[in-house]
Amino acid sequence: MPGSVLNASRPKRKRNLAANQAKLLVWPLIVVAAAVIADQTTKLLAVTYLTDQVSVKVLGNFLMFTLVYNAGGAMGTRIGPSLYYLIMALVVLPFIGYYIFRNRHVKAVSIPMAFIAGGAIGNLIDRIRLGQVIDFIDVDFFHISIGSFELDRWWTFNVADSCITCSIAFLIVYMFVKHRGIEPRDRLPRNIDQPSGLAG
């Protein structure tokens, strides 16, 4: 009889475990949706208000809105035609989804990966719909001069690019900190001199 009760409770425990695991994906999915919506909304506004305008100054020459249609990749790269970047996004997105699912219990990984996925989807929509990506954020960070390479003004980008770039930078820092063995204080033992279970 006790064995029967135990066996009967196993499916319920499995269902509860599956439900808890599914809950861990809620925030990453919300982040993906939010990134796509923000990206597509701002691009729609850019096309609506910036078409036929050279540039709109927001913070002087430092920050301007300039409508640009980019058939290449981020940071002015042009490895191949727009179709190449479209295919690459379709290939990479399933891997990003896999890493989000695998690291769903680690928000420091799943959330940035969700922003990357949302950004990739946002630019992918442009490539499917227009054959190129809409860029409009025009920022003058600093002048770069390396040998024969000259960059007087930063490449024009969009919200999707920001999601991808900032998330990659965060993940690099996070992986570096994790590799160095730096753990949050709440994960450290309360008393390293006192063995666990022997507190009086």
Catalytic sites, residue numbers: 135, 161
Query: What angle do the packed helices 82-102 and 107-130 form, to 10 degrees?
Result: 160
Strand (E) or helix (H) holding 56: strand 56-59
CA distance 163 to 156: 14
Residue among 42, 87, 51, 92 nearest 69 (CA): 51
Task: Enumerate the β-bridge partners of residue 145.
Answer: 150
Computed on alpha carbons and rounded to an integer, the radius of gyration of the chain in Å comes to 23
Q: Give the pair of three-digit tokens for residue 59.
A: 């913070």
